[in-house]
């Protein structure tokens, strides 16, 4: 039996390939992983959240990005694309291309069946190594449920929000998102 050889890339090689690619990929430990497309519900939820955050952040020193802003976890070497990311104050970017964020404060992931385990586990383990990250939010697609992790020193405190009348409070950026607006037009 012959083993299939894996290709390993440097961070510089990954970035050069990624910037020329027509589809997005994640990078960790020398390996590149293609990202799958998103469902209609995933897209609606992402746009709903980004729209609500964009309106609340107008005129403030915070920026919200949707899906195409790459985030680097410098401590682990992970490059990834969160569904929604917010950075405030002195926005730190990796290089002159201005396409890789180093200091997110809030990361929101819309859970998909193919990525839910990764988003809850290994990816969150990487994200927790970001000194700037204060809030991590997981949004399900199947029903109105949002899980909110808030950093408290070395601990992460989980609060779960359920139902249309619930309101997610993103304390570090002083924004509120009702589940009714997060799930607007999403067939549950």
**Of the candidates 40, 55, 44, 118, which has an alpha carbon nearest to the alpha carbon of residue 81?**
118
Q: Which long-range contacts (CB under 8 A, 24 or more apart) does 53-62 make?
A: 53/84, 53/86, 53/173, 53/175, 53/177, 56/174, 56/175, 56/176, 57/86, 57/173, 57/175, 60/88, 61/88, 61/89, 62/86, 62/87, 62/88, 62/89, 62/105, 62/173
Domains of the chain: 38-182 (3.90.1570.10)
pLDDT digits 0-9 by tens, 110-157: 999 989 999 999 999 999 999 999 999 999 999 999 999 999 999 999
Integer Cα distance of 26 and 4 in angstroms: 21
Judge contact between 126 and 134, C-beta under 8 A: no
pTM of the prediction? Answer: 0.93
How much is the pLDDT for 20?
A: 93
- Per-residue pLDDT of the chain (188 residues), as tens digits, is 445 457 899 999 999 999 999 889 999 999 999 888 789 999 999 999 999 999 999 999 999 999 899 999 999 999 999 999 999 999 999 999 999 999 999 999 999 998 999 999 999 999 999 999 999 999 999 999 999 999 999 999 999 999 999 999 999 999 999 999 999 999 99
């Amino acid at each position: 039996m012959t083993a299939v050889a894996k290709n390993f890339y440097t961070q510089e090689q990954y970035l050069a390939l990624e910037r020329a690619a027509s589809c997005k990929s994640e990078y960790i430990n020398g390996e590149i992983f293609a990202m799958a497309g998103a469902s209609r519900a995933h897209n609606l939820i992402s746009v709903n959240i980004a729209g609500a955050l964009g309106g609340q952040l107008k005129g403030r020193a915070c920026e919200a990005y949707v899906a195409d802003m790459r985030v680097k976890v410098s401590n682990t070497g992970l490059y990834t694309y969160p569904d929604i990311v917010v950075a405030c104050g002195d926005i730190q970017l990796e290089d002159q291309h201005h396409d890789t964020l180093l200091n997110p404060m809030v990361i929101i992931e819309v859970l998909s069946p193919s990525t839910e385990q990764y988003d809850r586990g290994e990816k969150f383990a990487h994200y927790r190594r970001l000194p700037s990250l204060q809030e991590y939010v997981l949004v399900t697609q199947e029903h109105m449920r949002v899980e909110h992790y808030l950093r408290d020193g070395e601990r992460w405190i989980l609060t779960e929000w359920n139902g249309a009348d619930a309101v997610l409070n993103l304390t570090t950026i002083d924004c509120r998102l009702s589940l009714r607006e997060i799930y607007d037009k999403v067939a549950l």
